[in-house]
Each structure stands twice: as structure tokens, then as C-alpha cells.
Structure 1
Amino acid sequence: MAASAEVRFLSGLDEIAAQDWDALRPDDNPFLAHAFLAGLERHGCIRAELGWLPWHAVLLDAGRAVAAAPCYLKDNSHGEFVFDWSWAEAYQRHGLDYYPKLLVAVPYSPVTGPRLLGAPAQRQVLLRALSQACGRYGLSSAHVNFVAEDSAADFAADTWLPRHDWQFHWHNRGYRDFDDFLAALKPKKRKNLRQERARVAAQGVSLETLHGDELDDADWHFVHACYKETFAEKGNYPALTEAFLRHLGQAMPRNLVVFLARQHGERVAMALCLRSHGTLYGRYWGCTREIPGLHFEACYYQGLDYCLREGLQRFEPGAQGEHKIARGFLPTPTRSFHYIAQPPFREAIRRALQTEELHWQHNGAYFRAQSPYADDDSGAGA
């Protein structure tokens, strides 16, 4: 890397060519594709009114992009899934501004993956640039969310504070089909899953699997309407536009998977997922009427069936949800790292995170003890 190499911050992902950005991706994680991230910006999902300003870091060496990170200036903590509201309140109590802050993440997506794209030495240059930007631009902090396990060593413990949480993921242990997966469960859990699926079918519900290039206009409108309704019910803002979802269907057609449910021929629910070569990612769910068991069928069992048919090795159905354990999804740690510019706050947050870590470890032991597998090691999480 030449001495003249520099980090630039871009106000939009379209300022870098798609092929140059995608060449830096270490795998086919769909959330890091230029089409996904730029699509959020083009189709109104990322904008100042929602507290998101694109500010992507790109390391240029002789004019060529050799490393990058999806970065945003944030005026709030919505859409992140790593909750730091109490930190912002502490700043406010001391008469200081927590916002704006710098965030390295995939918006609205609690999905683990690479965050700093490039070789190890180049990732270190990016990290230094992120911490220096806080001082240069008066930012309270920098945060890197849902960091892949093999990237955790990039973050120096004396500078970047680690934070952990749990999600619940399924791993394919060589199951031939759904019945083979069920056979690995404890008898009571196996019986419950079969009863849940049978209850849905008995209510006249059928499901079909559609990829992005297989949905028609009515399907797209229904999918987005369901998505909006679910967010409205929870009092949250539905940031993803129908235009963005349609864009994914066109730009990444085989990465987008929709499980569409009909009752007596009428659309009643959907579960929207994305996929890579080896992993299915559950993202959104919505329904027009309450049908007992349909949420589990659309969001979990259809996804498991899909993984088994397609040879996918992992299913990440989304954030939180201890109820997923009984359905074969086991605790898997997630990690984020945080640079706090003000030393007194950095030390106070460090102490708080040390206490939080003890609770995280206790919860992990409890979750692991709830394994539904007959052989407790047969489905162990990462």
C-alpha cells in the first residue's frame, strides 16, 4: 500500500462503481452487495429525515479502492438492533450531544457479516480513520455492528469496546429432509412441530416459494402491504419502500425469497427472506388475518424446508426470539464494537459492558440448556 493511500468518505454508494465495491466483498453476503446498499439510498429508505446520512469509508491506493466500509452518520439509534439509548441519555444528562454518531452497519438488518472490506492491514487503516473522524468532525462515537466472528481480532480492546448479544440460528447437520431433521429432536419437541404444521394445513392454508423474479405486481403490492402493517402494529416506521423491494427482485432476483401463504386461494400472509450461497436470512413477516400457527410455518418451517431442498447450511431467522429454540434454532453469539471518543464516558461504558457481559454469559447458559435436540451437541450453535 502506497504512502499516498487515503480514506475518503462518500455521501452515497453510487459514488463508487458497483463492480469496484463488490470486488471487495469477501463472500456473497447479499446485504453487502452494492445493489442492496445503493438501492436503500436510491429508493428512499435511507434519508436525513429518518436519521441516516450515507458516509461510506473507502480506502484508495493510487486511485483504486482497496478497502471500504458501509458507514452512516446517525441522528438517532433507530434501525440498528444494538441498543445504545441509555448511552445517549447519559450524554444528555451531562449536557453533551451523543448524536451525530458514526455507524458501520447494514441499515435495518441485524445480520452478522463482514463490515470492514479489505485485507487485515487495510482494515486497520479504516479503523484508524473511523476513530480519527470522531475527533475531526465532533462525533461522540463510532460503532461497528454485527461483526463476523473471524473479524473480531481487528478491534483493539483498549480502543474498541466489545459488546455481545444472542440470536438463534439453525445449522444443517447433514439432514436429508425435514423428517430427518425432526428425527434429531426430542420426542415431545418433534410431536409439537408436527402438530403445528398440521394445524396450519387443516385451516386450508397452502404456501408457495417465490424468488424475486417470480412475483407479479399483485404479489409485490401484497408483500409490501403486509410489511407495513406489521410495523404499524408495533408502532414502528416502515422504512423500506415498495420500490426498494421491487428493486431487489430485479437486481438480486435469486437472492430474494418469499414464502407466500394463501387460504382457500386468497393471499393471507408472507415471509420475506434473503439468501446467500449457504445461508437463508429471515427478515420480514406480515399477515392480513390471524391464523393459529401460520407465523411459525411461514417464518421458520418453510425456511427450514427451503434450506434442506437447496442445500443451504444455515438459517438466521432474525433478531431475538427465545421461542425459536423449541423449533431447532440454537443460541449463537453476535458481537459489536464501540469507540467512545470521550475518555470518561469510555470508561463508564466499559464498566457497564463488563456487567452486561456477565448477564449475557448467564443467559447463554440458560439458552443452551433448553436445546430441543435429543443429542445436545447435534444442533449446537456457533
Structure 2
Amino acid sequence: MRKILVVGAGQSGLQLALGLQSQGYEVTLMSNRTADEIRSGRVMSTQCMFHTALQHERDLGINFWESQAPRIEGLGVSVAGPDGGRAVDWVGRLGGYAQSVDQRVKMAGWMETFARRGGQLVIHGAAVSDLDYFSRAYDLVLVSAGKGELVSLFERDADRSPYSAPQRALAVAYVHGLGPRPEHPDYDAVRCNLVPGVGELFVMPTFTTSGRADILFWEGVPGGPLDVFRGVRDPAEHLSLTLELMEKYTPWEYARATRVELTDAGGTLAGRYAPTVRRPVGRLPGGGLVLGVADVVVANDPITGQGSNSAAKCAASYLDSITAHGDRPFDEEWMRGAFDRYWDTARHVTKWTNAMLGAPPEHVLGLIGAAGAHQPVADRFANGFNDPADFEDFFYDPERTAAYLASVAGA
């Protein structure tokens, strides 16, 4: 039986560990926190998973909260106008519903499932020196811990990483008491509110430790008026700042948030990081090799909501590559090939996310505006969050955009 070590217990690490376990591999999972510590800790993300990523969980039978989490059936875009109103406002319907489950709930539950099914769970914050030892004891070591010392094992890929500094300052609040959007009170949707030159506010339904909730998520241009959360430690102050900014820049969202309260004392998060693609193979001091997983090697800004989706897709791709390899050694050539197979999907996410971080060109502004007049455009844009590869056909090139809009207008 082949022995595999997975370091890191996030979406990708746990999904991969559970998938390998189900295929009969001897799997060790290393986490720096216990399930109880994760469950009672601070929120970790603003995950919203779309149909393809959710299906990977269903395929493994680990979609434990699907009946409890809100079904997100739409994705809407609003663009703030100079008068404080909305210059653009529309919602596209998703072909398959999306869902968000607080990673405190999911990761704790998955970790307990892994242990209950006989997996070896090690609670230890791994260092490079640890991996030097483990690389000799396991057939394959996978690093899915996207922060800390271990990331330094993986060299930045400058050709695929156009940004060397954070492009947004991030601030998250999980709340109860948010009212519905009056445009679609009968179904849930993620709302993307764009404030030109300032940043973005995302509002999404979620399932958290205390049940149904909503996430208020500001992405601010660094140094701009939204970049005010650094150093804020008090959760109440964090929420107050969030609401003040909503009242000023997205009053239509603030109107349904006047009675919100934090879900819990750990329901806020703030930070920033530079979007980075890294080379997939890490070489240890002793000569051993490790393979980077998900945001260890492809870390995009969350502006397009792809983090947990990419993690799920990476875990599914790596699982296929591992099981198809049989008893052959997991050498450097295989590691690079496994990453290249995942990159065929991830490259579309990276291209789209990096494009959304910049000022939108005129043809993209026209596309977003046209979605308000043509429902098929809104629907296609919304479903691009599930399949970013589709943006190649109508988003980046002005001529393709024009041809697509002409075909819709003439239909």
C-alpha cells in the first residue's frame, strides 16, 4: 500500500486526503490545529463554491452540509454611479446552484471524518526540517499549507505572476440579520458591487457554525478609502467600519444591513497578499521533493471568488493523476506533469482574476452594461464563475466581445 503525506488541512488538503483514503492509500494528514480549534477559531475565508467544484465533493460523498447551506441560484453585478446610485444593476441565473459553507464547519467536520475512517491525523505545525525526514518515509509528500515557512520551498514563477504586491486590502464580516435584495427576494444570489477606483463589495449567503448567515466582504484598492482595516482588532469596530463604508459607497446594500450583527466573536478577518503563481516542485535540503497543492502554487486574489473552487479542482486533478500513476515512482517529471494538468484549468482563473484587478477596458464596460439589457449576457457572465475558460470566447478580445453582443442583440 502506497504511503502519502498531506501537509495542510484546508479545502484541497482535506479533500485530497479523503479522496486518497477512499482509494485505499495509506494517508497521513498533518494539521497545525485540531478540529475543535478550527471550529471555535476565526473565519478563514469567503468561500463560494460553484457547480463543478461542488460536484467534486459530491463524487467523494463528502458534501455533508449541502441540505443545510443556502442554495445560491444567481450572481448579480451592480456598478456604483457618480451620483451614489447604481449605473448598472443586474443578476444572472446560474445553471447549477452554488453554495458557501464556512470553512470552520467544513474543515473541522472533514478532519473528524478522516480520523474516524482510520486516517492518521498528526497535529503539528510542519517545518521544512520535518518534511526532510518525512520525504524518506513516504512515497509522496503533498504540501497544501498555503502560508508560513513551507511556501518558501516553491519558487515564484515570474512569467505567470505579473503582480509583486497585494492588489486589494481584504476585510470580511460574517453576519446574521441581513435582509433580502428586493430585486430577487425569492432566491439567493451572490452580489458583486463595483465601486470604480475604490474597490468592490461582495455579499454572499453562507452556512456557518450558527446556521444561515451572510458574508460582507470588502476588497479595497490599497491606499484608498476602503483600506482602513489594518490594525483593527475589535470585531465590533470591524463591523462598524464595514457598515460605514457600505452606507457611503453602496447605500443599496446598506439599506438591508441596518440590523445586522456578527455571527460570533471570530466572524471577522482582514489582510492582503500578492497574487502569485509558484513552481510546483519544492526541493528539500536533504534532496527530497514535495509537490505543492492549490494556493501553495496558484494563489489568486479572491476578487473572482475562485479560491475554494480552484482548491477543489486541484485536489480532484491531483487525485486522478495519483491513482492513474499506479506503482511507479512519484518523481519530478510526474510532479510537473500533475501540475501541468491542473494548470490547464487554473490558467483561465489566473488570467481572468488578474484582468479583473485592473481598470476594465471599454469593451468590458460595454459587456457589463449590456448584461443589464440582455438576460443571456447576464446569465453567461454569471456562469463564467463556474467555468472561467468560457471568458476566452467573449471577454478579453474587443472583437470577440462585439461579435458576441451582436449575436445576442440579433437573436
TM-score normalised per structure 2: 0.26
Higher RCO, 1 or 2 (CA under 8 Å, sep at least 6)? 2
User: TM-score, normalised on structure 1?
Assistant: 0.27
